[in-house]
Amino acid sequence: MRFMDSNTNSQHTRPRTEPAQSRRILRGRIYRHFKGDRYLVEDFATDSESGLPVVIYRKLYDDGSLWVRPLEMFAGEVDRAKYPDVRQRYRFELEDVPSANHR
């Protein structure tokens, strides 16, 4: 994967997770939003205006549409002032989905 490094404005290759300074978000994995729905992280990209990394993710309900959100927000904690009763720490948390074929 390639993206623009906002500090140097040079392109380079990054590992399958993005970026090191944030919580580790994994491509191809399912995340639970703090309001309960689930999403599949499809990929990472760079915002053309800000140069910041974004997460491209797919709803796993309704129309299955694609969404994009700044990585910092995707990996961030739930706003406790706005949502004081939420039990989940992070806005999106990794779900462990075991295989139905491997018991």
Return the domain boundaries, the chain: 29-94
Q: What is the pLDDT of residue 8?
A: 35
pTM score, two decimals? Answer: 0.75
Determine the pLDDT at residue 22. Answer: 56
pLDDT in tens, 28-58: 999 999 999 999 999 999 999 999 999 999 9
CATH match of 29-94 with 2.30.30.320:
yes
CB contact at 8 A, 55 and 71:
yes
8-26: per-residue pLDDT in tens? Answer: 333 333 434 444 445 899 9
